[in-house]
Chain A
């Protein structure tokens, strides 16, 4: 078996099993840790696909920032009472039906699509070291979306601050 086949299989098994653990773990804190591991495995997948800049950003922003925020909110909302961190699932059968039907629909349409098949036949081996082209493309062709995105981030910061603040005049 060639490396080009072995690497995605190994990474995929890791990613899928950690995602399952995120969803099935009864302990909320463990779910967050498994989510961090799944995000790191996705970063490895990005490296396999030749997107090393994205892998770095994924680890910095997701596995660093988002997981920290999530753990912070778990600890704040649960008031560090370990007995309430345990939780159960609800309506398992409908959720299982919905998610598996979505999965089978996606798989069926992908397998039966001739366009996807021609893409898979001409799948190139990943090209590394495209960060320079990526940066040029972002700051020339995609400059307006980039600036709009910075505005959105500013709005999100202000919104999160306003929402999470305690109202002095009410209390």
Chain B
């Protein structure tokens, strides 16, 4: 039963993070929602790895955490660059691709 509860919490956190990604204006808030989604995926990976009785779940999560940290560092550097060039970090005002 605790397996179902863990998975359910992970799904709930994933959808909350998705809501944050879709509805926040500020780009840093968007990346916080992405962090929540990553977290939920990691949690369900650990739970399913434990249910299978293998250690690979934990190792994959270890690698995923490292990749996420790299991604956040590059993303935040991009935001700094964007703020310097365009003077804003609001998702609605960055419409370069609209032409």
* Interface pair B24/A120, CB less than 8 Å apart: no
Cβ of A61 to closest chain B Cβ, rounded Å: 6
* Interface membership of B67, Cβ < 8 A: yes
* Interface pair B6/A19, CB less than 8 Å apart: no
CB neighbours of A156 from chain B (8 A): 70-71, 73-74
Cross-interface CB contact of B55 among A35, A61, A137, A159, cutoff 8 Å: A137
* Interface pair A15/B62, CB less than 8 Å apart: no
CB neighbours of A82 from chain B (8 A): none
* Interface membership of A81, Cβ < 8 A: no
CB neighbours of A61 from chain B (8 A): 65-66, 69
- Known contacts A23-B17, A53-B58; decide if A31 and B32 are in contact (CB<8 Å): yes
* Interface pair A164/B81, CB less than 8 Å apart: yes
Count of chain A residues near B, Cβ 8 A: 84
- Known contacts A119-B48, A134-B55; decide if A23 and B83 are in contact (CB<8 Å): no
CA distance A8 to B66 in the complex (A): 26
CB neighbours of A38 from chain B (8 A): 13, 36, 39
The size bracket of the interface on B is: 35 or more
Cross-interface CB contact of A42 among B33, B39, B67, B84, cutoff 8 Å: B39
Cross-interface CB contact of A89 among B5, B25, B59, B68, cutoff 8 Å: B25
CB neighbours of A133 from chain B (8 A): 55
The DSSP consensus for interface residues of chain A is: helix
CB neighbours of B56 from chain A (8 A): 137
Closest 5 CB pairs of A and B: A156-B70, A95-B22, A103-B15, A12-B9, A23-B20
Where the two chains meet, the residues of B that have a C-beta atom closer than 8 Å to any C-beta of A are 1-9, 11-20, 22-26, 28-29, 31-33, 35-36, 39, 42-43, 46-48, 50-53, 55-56, 58-59, 61-63, 65-74, 76-81, 83-84, 89, 92
Where the two chains meet, the residues of A that have a C-beta atom closer than 8 Å to any C-beta of B are 4-5, 7-9, 11-12, 15-16, 19-20, 22-23, 28, 31-32, 35, 38-39, 42, 45-46, 49-51, 53-54, 57-58, 61-62, 65-66, 69-70, 72-74, 76-77, 87-92, 94-96, 98-100, 102-103, 106-107, 110, 116, 119-120, 122-124, 126, 130, 133-134, 137-138, 142, 145-146, 149, 152-153, 155-157, 159-161, 163-164, 166
